[in-house]
Structure 1
Amino acid sequence: MFPIGSLGLAALSHFGATSIGHSPLSIKILALIVVAIFIFATVFVVLHHAEAVARRLGEPYGTLLLTFSVTAIEASVIVSMMLHGANNPTLARESVFSTVMIVCTGVVGVCLTLGGLKHRYQDIKRQGTNASLAVIMALTVLTLILPNYTLATSPGAFSASQLAFVSVLSVLLYGAFVFAQMVRHRGDFIEDLTSSAEHEAHVSEGGKVTTNVLLLFVGLAGIVLLTEQVAGSIEDGLAFLQITQADAIVGFFVAALVLMPEAVSAVRAALNNELQRGLNVALGSACATIGLTIPAIGAASLLTGRSLMLGLGPGDTVLLLLALAIS
């Protein structure tokens, strides 16, 4: 019931935002605590349904379903927050950058460490992992570093034609990666091709995959809509306190909270001696965040006329390149 409850609470928060906004500080804090409890509880319920779908659909289809659903809703949250209040051109950049850094330096490291401590040695398909990292490198350089070296506009921003070209190129590159993962080189992304018999047994087990998919989407929608409510409150609070680089803080918060179901799924897979699946979830989320979120944000920027700054600063660029190099 938590997915439905989270979605209902998100709707209630949205329609009751005005009355809550005029409430005392204690009421606002209590509301945030309730929202946080619902978010964390729903994450684990969503994870249960995601793993059930993954078992019934088989790899890599179950992983891709979770990745697509999370990324689609994350993109909608970022676009909604971009259009919220004053123009915040760096929010999208900070969210995408935070996602890549959390995945490459956080989730992957935790998977390797905990999986190694429990199982000592774990096999992975290097071809598939290397392909994921290569796509992440290409997309990050194209969208987060290249804008600093274009001459059509100010440093850090694409012109309208450049943004459209980079958006299309990102979609094509990610589409080619998904095609390789699902069709051409599917064996490079799954641990054992002989698991199809087990997969068929799971499919014939109960036929509840439709219910699991429905509750998965409902739960994810509830999580991300509640995240949007909390992030909006944090953004307003930081603006009231006149804290600089508020977009970086809000972007990290959005990325961390939205990535939580995938992060927990990846770590649990590594602990279950399914390291390849864990890496597929983690690295696939980073690929999808850039390959799908940047085009969606770019389209929103072009349609609404809102400015968009994608180029990272020198310090963040060094950290990003270091994270990609050691990955």
Structure 2
Amino acid sequence: MTNTVIQGLPRWSLAVPPLAFVVLLLTWHRHLGVALLILVCAGLGAAVIAAVHHAEVVAHRVGEPFGTLILALAVTVIEVALIVTLMVPGGVKAATLARDTVFAAVMITCNGILGLSLVVGSLRHGTQEFRVRASSSALAVMTALVTLSLVLPTFTTSAPGPQFSPAQLAFAGVTSLVMYGVFVFVQTVRHRDYFLPVPSSDEVEEDEDGTHATAPSGQVALLSLGLLFVCLISVVGLAKTVSPSLESAVESAGAPVAVVGVAIALLVLLPETAAAVRAALRNRLQNSFNLALGSALASIGLTIPAIAVASIWLSGPLVLGLGGTEMVLFALTVVTSILTLATGRATLLQGAVHMMVFSAFIFLAISP
């Protein structure tokens, strides 16, 4: 590999992805003792940091909103593969795993990532601005997708319990895919300007953070894209490797099965969380919103169709309907998000509100 290709990429960013993948290969399907568990967690953390770095390199090359879209899509595609893999054995946990993970992803992105971005951004920059048309349109699509895919199954009568009949599941899968496809078209083609960051006079100007640095070459961007996928595969694979230990810890603590889905979503969404916080620190809150809401949309818009197809050969029931507590939290999230996005300006207060809703979600998942 020539120096021209790797110019602008730190050595650690080149070394971490293959090392994390080696850790994944060495620990795959193995019982994790204390030493291996520490090694897996270290590899997971390093892979997340490297994934964020390479995602920013790609984003700098292709521009917004393509950069955030690439990261959201890449993580979600691998997340869907992880969910389907974990559902193959069947059983009680598999029946609700897709619902728990997707709903957890929605709450983490719309409250955790969005709220944390608002908090750290406002602490550094005071009031931050974003584009109302972009964020409100993403919220509208997200609300419709969650309602059609996760709320309606609780009230339909064609199948027993909070489940869709095969025809209803197929309809939900097609609807989710179409709505997400239309959103991506609007975001990247028809109204791309809606999703661009708001110019700001106090935006961080240091070249070392990548905000105003020279755009990387096409070769560097392609290399970073490949390493990004290696990182994301390692993140999700290591998350799956850690999942048995998480399940054992959940069972030992007497916590509900839904906590497993929450833990998986938290691990898988680490790259988006780190990237969104870094964007907020640079006073590019629109990028943070693109990541948070875009990840929520991708999680629903791709997971539901994939589960609908996978249900053809997966055994056991597929429970998608939310319970009463989850529907209340979702309604609170929608109302809070509408009020946050109404003015195009956000402060510490809005971030604190979203973080409190996220804290309530985590607390009630552990203690329903």
> Which amino acid is 2:281 matched to?
L
Contact kept in structure 2, 1:111 and 1:266, CA below 8 Å: yes
Which residue of 1 is the match for residue 327 of structure 2? 317
Which residue of 1 is the match for residue 79 of structure 2? 74
Which residue of 2 is the match for residue 179 of structure 1? 185
Instruction: Quote how far apart the aligned CAs of 1:85 are.
Output: 5.7
Structure 1 distance, partners of 2:40, 2:79, is 18
> Which amino acid is 2:67 matched to?
G
Contact kept in structure 1, 2:131 and 2:198, CA below 8 Å: no
1:166-245 aligned at under 5 Å gives the runs: 166-191=172-197, 202-203=215-216, 205=217, 207-236=219-248, 238-239=250-251, 241=252, 243=254, 245=256
Instruction: Quote how far apart the aligned CAs of 1:121 are.
Output: 2.4
Structure 2 distance, partners of 1:11, 1:250, is 23
Structure 1 distance, partners of 2:37, 2:268, is 17
Structure 2 distance, partners of 1:236, 1:214, is 34
> Which amino acid is 1:122 matched to?
Q
Which residue of 1 is the match for residue 20 of structure 2? 6
Contact kept in structure 2, 1:56 and 1:199, CA below 8 Å: no
Structure 1 length as normaliser, TM-score? 0.90
> Which amino acid is 1:202 matched to?
A
Instruction: Quote how far apart the aligned CAs of 1:61 are.
Output: 1.0
Structure 2 distance, partners of 1:104, 1:200, is 30
- SS of match in other structure, 2:28: helix
Equivalent pairs counted in the alignment come to: 311
Flag the 1:170–1:115 CA change in 2: closer, same or farther, 3 A.
same
Instruction: Quote how far apart the aligned CAs of 1:200 are.
Output: 11
Structure 1 residue 54 corresponds to structure 2 residue 59:
yes
Q: Which runs of 4+ in 1 moved over 4 A?
A: 198-201, 236-239
Instruction: Quote how far apart the aligned CAs of 1:142 are.
Output: 0.7
Superposition CA RMSD, Å: 2.0
Moved more, 80-89 or 36-45: 80-89
Flag the 1:85–1:171 CA change in 2: closer, same or farther, 3 A.
closer
Moved more, 280-289 or 227-236: 227-236
Flag the 1:200–1:61 CA change in 2: closer, same or farther, 3 A.
farther
- Deviation string 1:208-265 (CA, Å, 9 cap, x unpaired) is 11110010000100110010111133225545x493522x111011100100000110
1:34-183 aligned at under 5 Å gives the runs: 34-84=39-89, 86-87=91-92, 88-183=94-189
Aligned residue among 269, 278, 290 for 1:280: 290
- Deviation string 1:267-319 (CA, Å, 9 cap, x unpaired) is 11011011101110111000100000121122112232432101011111111
> Which amino acid is 1:243 matched to?
G
Structure 2 distance, partners of 1:235, 1:81, is 12
| Long gaps (5+) in structure 1 | 21-26
- SS of match in other structure, 1:59: coil
Structure 2 distance, partners of 1:324, 1:264, is 23
Structure 1 distance, partners of 2:218, 2:213, is 11
1:272-311 aligned at under 5 Å gives the runs: 272-311=282-321
| Long gaps (5+) in structure 2 | 1-14, 200-210, 338-368
- Deviation string 1:10-51 (CA, Å, 9 cap, x unpaired) is 122225x2xx3xxxxxx6122111101110111111110000
More helix by share: 1
Which residue of 1 is the match for residue 354 of structure 2? none
- SS of match in other structure, 2:161: coil
> Which amino acid is 2:165 matched to?
S
Instruction: Quote how far apart the aligned CAs of 1:77 are.
Output: 0.6
> Which amino acid is 2:317 matched to?
S
Structure 1 distance, partners of 2:280, 2:253, is 42
Contact kept in structure 2, 1:160 and 1:302, CA below 8 Å: no
Structure 1 residue 250 corresponds to structure 2 residue 250:
no
